[in-house]
Amino acid sequence: MNKNVVNALRGSAAALVLLAAAGCQSNKALDEVRAIAQGADQKATAAQNSANAAATSASSAQNTANAAKSAADAAQSTANQALQAAQAAQTSADASNEKVDRMFKKSVSK
């Protein structure tokens, strides 16, 4: 619940107490209205606490997601570097094989 709803519930509970005090003839009825108002206030407070906990959980989840994205970005960067190194190694191996083939062909042709 948002703060406006909680405040409205609290205001309604206070209004009930005032109306009951003005219109009730017995203390018992007034006590009952007070109990209802206190219960409404407690429920409003609990709802506000629950909303705050949910917001904290959402913030924590966002932080975890951001950390996971950073880790994934770092892993992608490492993978790209490994790919470049592998391609360079393959190019070097191809050049070496080509040299060996040329040397072999020269030695056979003599």
Write down the pLDDT at residue 5: 60
pLDDT 10s digits, 18-41: 555 555 456 788 888 889 989 999
Beta-carbon contacts of 10 under 8 Å, excluding residues fewer than 6 positions away, are 40, 41, 44
44-96 pLDDT per residue, tens: 999 999 999 999 999 999 999 999 999 999 999 999 999 999 999 999 999 99
pTM, two decimal places: 0.53
Q: Give the whole-angstrom CA distance, residue 108 versus residue 27.
A: 119
Tell me how crowded residue 6 is: count the other CB atoms within 10 A of its CB.
19
Q: Cα separation of 17 and 14, whole Å? A: 5
**According to the model, what pLDDT value does residue 104 have?**
86
Confidence at residue 21, expressed as pLDDT on a 0 to 100 scale: 56
Q: How high is the pLDDT of residue 28?
A: 81
So what's the pLDDT on residue 50? 94
